[in-house]
Structure 1
Amino acid sequence: MAPAAAASAPAGPASGRTRLGGMMSGEPLIRARGLGLQYGSKRVLDGLDFEIPAGRVVGLLGHNGAGKTSLMRALVGLTGHEGELSVLGLSPQRQRTALLQSLCYIPDVAILPRWARASELITLMAGLHPNFSAERARQLLKRTSVGLNDKVKTLSRGMVVQLHLALVAAIDARLMVLDEPTLGLDVLSRKAFYEMLIDEWCDGERSVLISTHQVEEVESLLSDVLMLSEGRLVLNIPLAEVDERFVALSHDPAAADAVAAAHPILRYRQQGQSAALFDGAPPPEVQALGQRMRPSLVDLFVALTRAPELNPTIPR
């Protein structure tokens, strides 16, 4: 559990923009330019360019080994990197202490001390973090089945995750980074976690970056998606723009050859029907062969993160 953010700074220039901690108002919370990372001979991040503004819920998607955890570790200052990276106007490595005052981080291996009671963890957090609200944490716990006197060792995995979120969400932060926060939880526990996150933390000003494999479950929560494949950013788009860029067509089997000739990025079946997914609009004569559908995030994930030899559309 590693909460964090920006140190105070003087007011901004006479342009009217104000300085909030280490950044100017209106600036993105995260900005990456040419972000890269290499472990030995393996290139785990390769030239990432992206921004995350305030008030967004961003899904970070990719198969195991795609670079998701490496990116998150770079964002919170746990690993070095190539290129430019600014988080809340700060350098994650050089200014990590200041960063961790306004950034919350729950890694995929987050562990709470088994001997501690929930009330003791609240007291501990209040003494460690200047932006932590004990009262807020107690209020958040009321949304869970965790009692103040419950010890961590008596809680189920789902209850531990709920307690962890209550502690982290009680920090007055601007950015939350979650690396597979619901890994190993049942569907009800995952639903409760995300409901609490959206209801109690997202307020239109703070942003959340969520890495997860449960693509279908988080799609309705997200405003944007970053998709990685082999360390490369293959999709960076607001979900509201997916329908504008991608076209999915359901079609009769008899039209399969004509549809395939238009080079869709994915051919699949949906509800028993043949379907094809295109990056951009196919020719009108091909569109006339089928019925347009809304492409799902799962379909895009499959199309864009398959092995490169199976998907020539992924840039090399």
Structure 2
Amino acid sequence: MNNINLVEAREMSLRYGKKTALERASFVIPKGRVVGLLGHNGAGKTSLMKALVGLLPAEGELSVLGLDPRRQRGALLEQLCYIPDVAVLPRWARVSELITLMSGLQPRFSALRARELLKRTSVGLNDKVKSLSKGMVVQLHLALIAAIDARLMVLDEPTLGLDVVSRKSFYEMLIDEWCDGERSVLISTHQVEEVESLLSDVMMLDEGRLVLNISLEDMDRRFVALSHDPATAEAIAAAHPLLRYRQSGGRGAAIFDGAPPAHVAELGERIRPSLVDLFMALTRNPALHRKEA
């Protein structure tokens, strides 16, 4: 494995019997990156994450931190931390007891580091999990996981169901206290607008296919959006953009993969396509698709 890549996958597929969750995906995750994994429900995000941590067998080639996730899972979990979408902490336990438990379970866990991270929150060492709000439980979970001296963090919808303040606090702690230019994070989330400013890269899944794997820097160079008057809508549509949508104030917008023809570019004003708009352009909403069928 290349020593700058923490994850390398080549032609990786994941199947549940006859159902294909991921089809021949190839990608790498270098060190020092914050990667957003985006996709509608059922697109294959959780399956991909489970394969990375050794919970699902994968066809093709997959190396995580230079290890085979299935055959070398014990060694892998010493250097990788994971918060699944159904993560729970024992409600009866006190925070101090969880720190003691983690100290005995994970050789790379630092109790001192966990207590330092908890100072950023309103969670007390003597608090019981059952007395904490949902947002506080998620912050406690992140503090425990971030106190592990790992190289890769995998987060599956870590802020699902939290209010906007709790989500902001979670991501601030993640970026400030864990990301250091060497470690990498893979985050699956539906809150695309909130994480866009945190990400260095994005991977998009659409019904089991990896439809985009790109840095945000390259994304801004590759995809072009034009804001235009309604009068030019037909001419722009004739150039077959990826997506057309309406902006506030009655103006239209269109996203192109690559520079549009010069005569089309002259019809509008170039703007930066948002990650949300690009997501809509490259993926299909299964619920909407069923309604149309």
TM-score of the superposed pair, with normalisation by structure 2 = 0.96
Task: State yes or no: 1:216 paired with 2:193.
Answer: yes
Task: State yes or no: 1:57 paired with 2:34.
Answer: yes
Conserved? CA contact 2:40–2:285, under 8 Å: no
Query: Counterpart amino acid of 1:226?
Result: M
Match of 2:96, SS state, is helix
Aligned residue number for residue 149 of structure 1: 126
Gap regions ≥5 residues in structure 1: 1-22, 312-316
Q: Percent identical across equivalent pairs?
A: 78
Task: State yes or no: 1:95 paired with 2:72.
Answer: yes
Query: Counterpart amino acid of 2:283?
Result: T
Cα deviation for residue 241 of structure 1 reads 1.1
Cα deviation for residue 25 of structure 1 reads 3.2
Cα deviation for residue 24 of structure 1 reads 5.8
Pick the aligned partner of 1:171 from 125, 131, 148: 148
Aligned residue number for residue 8 of structure 1: none
C-alpha separation in 2, matches of 1:156 and 1:298: 30
Structure 1 consecutive aligned stretches of length 4 or more whose deviation exceeds 4 Å: none
Pick the aligned partner of 1:279 from 257, 265, 269: 257
Deviates more, 1:268-277 or 1:120-129: 268-277
Distance 1:81 1:139, change over 3 A: same
What do the CA deviations read for 1:261-302 (whole angstroms, capped 9, x no partner)? 000000001223200000111100000000000000000000
Cα deviation for residue 307 of structure 1 reads 5.1
Higher helix share: 2
C-alpha separation in 2, matches of 1:52 and 1:24: 11
C-alpha separation in 2, matches of 1:86 and 1:25: 12
- Report 1:60-99 matches (<5 A): 60-99=37-76
C-alpha separation in 2, matches of 1:42 and 1:269: 37
What do the CA deviations read for 1:113-172 (whole angstroms, capped 9, x no partner)? 001000000011011111000000000000001000000000011000000000000000
Match of 2:162, SS state, is coil
Equivalenced residue count is 287
C-alpha separation in 2, matches of 1:218 and 1:137: 24
C-alpha separation in 2, matches of 1:24 and 1:267: 40
Query: Counterpart amino acid of 2:267?
Result: L
- Report 1:1-316 matches (<5 A): 25-26=3-4, 28-272=5-249, 273-306=251-284
Query: Counterpart amino acid of 1:286?
Result: V
C-alpha separation in 1, matches of 2:93 and 2:68: 34
TM-score of the superposed pair, with normalisation by structure 1 = 0.89
C-alpha separation in 1, matches of 2:156 and 2:272: 28
C-alpha separation in 1, matches of 2:49 and 2:125: 31
C-alpha separation in 2, matches of 1:171 and 1:44: 30
C-alpha separation in 1, matches of 2:6 and 2:37: 16
C-alpha separation in 2, matches of 1:190 and 1:145: 14
C-alpha separation in 1, matches of 2:72 and 2:203: 25
Distance 1:39 1:25, change over 3 A: closer
Match of 2:101, SS state, is helix
Gap regions ≥5 residues in structure 2: none
- Superposition CA RMSD, Å: 1.3
Match of 1:125, SS state, is helix
Match of 1:29, SS state, is strand
Query: Counterpart amino acid of 1:45?
Result: L
Distance 1:24 1:242, change over 3 A: closer
What do the CA deviations read for 1:16-44 (whole angstroms, capped 9, x no partner)? xxxxxxx6633x10000001011122211
Cα deviation for residue 189 of structure 1 reads 0.3
